[in-house]
Amino acid sequence: MLKEGDLAPLDIEVLDANENTTKLQDFLGHKIILYFYPKDNTPGCTQEACDFRDFNPEFEKLGAKLIGVSADSVESHTKFADKHELPFDLWSDTEHTLSDAFGAWGKKSLFGKIRLGLTRSTFIIDENGKIIKVWPKVSVNGHTEEVLRFLNDYKQNE
């Protein structure tokens, strides 16, 4: 998994919920909250997305762009975003290229079985593409508040 101080892979292209090709490089000049989550419309992922939705105005005030990434299809993301009124981008990483580059794709244990999947993780990337904070294994409860606290502290120390 990429670490704080590493440069984010800026040139990997994925599709957004409007089927447009996009990449992190398109968002340089903003702080980026990039969060990887396992699957649309599952309890933990829905809670996480809705928590990020509720805090999005605060993130925007801090100049941060919020992006959610999973291996779900564009169609799944569109339905998920519409259902929960998500005001931020969801990227479809069906080939796992972006999640693999960040180290968020790999073997994980679920109900005692080992399988490949996304590890729920969050990365904060600065305006120049450097990773400034990593949460490698996210517990959904309280995570959004923790991200906001970090960004507030970071802004005060800039």
Q: How far apart are the first and last CA of the chain?
A: 26
What is the Cα–Cα distance from 92 to 70, expressed in whole angstroms? Answer: 6
Question: What tokens appear for 123 in the block?
Answer: 């990365």
Q: What are phi and psi of 72, to 5 degrees?
A: -70, 160
Question: Active-site residue numbers?
Answer: 45
Compute how many other C-beta atoms are within 10 angstroms of the C-beta atom of residue 125: 26
